Chain A
Amino acid sequence: MEKSVRIVAEFKVNCTQFLDVNGSLVQDLPDFLQDQKKIIEFYCAMAELREFDAIAIALQRTGKIGTYPSTLGQEAISIGIGAAMEPEDIFCPYYRDCGAQFWRGVKMSEILLYWGGDERGSNFSGNKQDFPLCVPVASQVLHAVGVANAIKLKKESKVVVTVVGDGGTSRGDFYEAINLAGVWQLPVVFVINNNQWAISVPRSEQTMATTLAQKGIAAGIDNEQVDGNDVIAVCYSIRKAVEKARNRQGPTLIEALSYRLSDHTTADDAKRYRNIEELQKQRLADPLLRLHQYLISKHLWNEKEEVELKNKVTNKVESAVEEYLNINSENALAMFDYLYAKLPAALASQREECLRLFGES
Chain B
Amino acid sequence: MSTLNLIEAINQALAYELTNDSSVVVFGEDVGINGGVFRATTGLQMQFGKERVFDTPLAENMIAGLAIGMATQGLKPVAEIQFMGFIYAAVDQIISHASRLRNRTRGRLTCPLVIRTPFGAGIHAPEHHSESTEALFAHIPGLRVVVPSSPARAYGLLLAAIRDEDPVIFLEPTRLYRLGKQEILNTGEALPLDLCFVLRQGRDVTLVSWGAMIHETLKTAEYLSTVGIEAEVIDVATLKPLDINTILNSVEKTGRCVIIHEATKACGVGAEIAAQLAEFGLTYLLAPIQRVTAFDVIVPLSRLEHYYLPTEDRITQAVKKVMEFT
Contact = CB atoms under 8 A, between A and B. Distances in A.
Contact of A119 (B68, B73, B105): B105
Most B C-beta atoms less than 10 A away, residue of A92, A120, A142? A142
Nearest to A142: B65
Given A143-B97, A150-B70, A340 B166 contact: yes
A144 interface: yes
Contacts of A123: 105-108
Given A180-B62, A344-B241, A142 B109 contact: no
Interface stretch (A65-73, A124-132, A205-213): A124-132
A33 B301 CA distance: 66
A273 interface: no
Given A128-B108, A339-B102, A172 B166 contact: no
B109 A139 contact: no
B25 A153 contact: yes
Interface in A103-134: 119-120, 122-124, 128-129, 131-132
A176 B102 CA distance: 24
Contacts of A345: 194, 241, 243, 245
B110 A341 contact: yes
A288 B228 CA distance: 85
Given A142-B93, A338-B102, A148 B69 contact: yes
A139 B61 CA distance: 9
Contact of A340 (B57, B59, B142): B142
Given A139-B97, A172-B61, A176-B59, A146 B68 contact: yes
Interface string A148-171: 111101100000000000000000
A231 interface: no
A136 interface: yes
A149 B105 contact: no
A194 interface: no
Interface residues of B, number: 44
Given A132-B105, A346-B241, A173 B73 contact: no
Given A177-B62, A180-B62, A339-B142, A146 B103 contact: no
Interface in B198-249: 241-245
Contacts of A148: 69
A139 B65 contact: yes
A144 B96 CA distance: 15
A179 interface: yes
A183 interface: yes
B180 interface: no
B308 to A, nearest CB: 30
Interface string B54-80: 001101011011111111111100000
B69 A150 contact: yes
A153 B25 CA distance: 10
B69 A341 contact: no
B103 A119 contact: yes
What are the 9 closest A-B residue pairs judged by CB atoms, nearest first? A146-B69, A142-B65, A150-B73, A346-B241, A341-B165, A176-B62, A344-B241, A123-B106, A143-B69
Given A129-B73, A139-B65, A150-B72, 19 more contacts: A123-B105, A123-B108, A129-B109, A131-B109, A136-B97, A142-B61, A142-B93, A145-B62, A145-B69, A149-B69, A150-B70, A150-B73, A153-B25, A153-B75, A154-B75, A173-B61, A173-B62, A340-B102, A346-B244
Interface of A: 92, 119-120, 122-124, 128-129, 131-132, 136, 139, 141-151, 153-154, 172-173, 176-177, 179-180, 183, 334, 338-342, 344-347
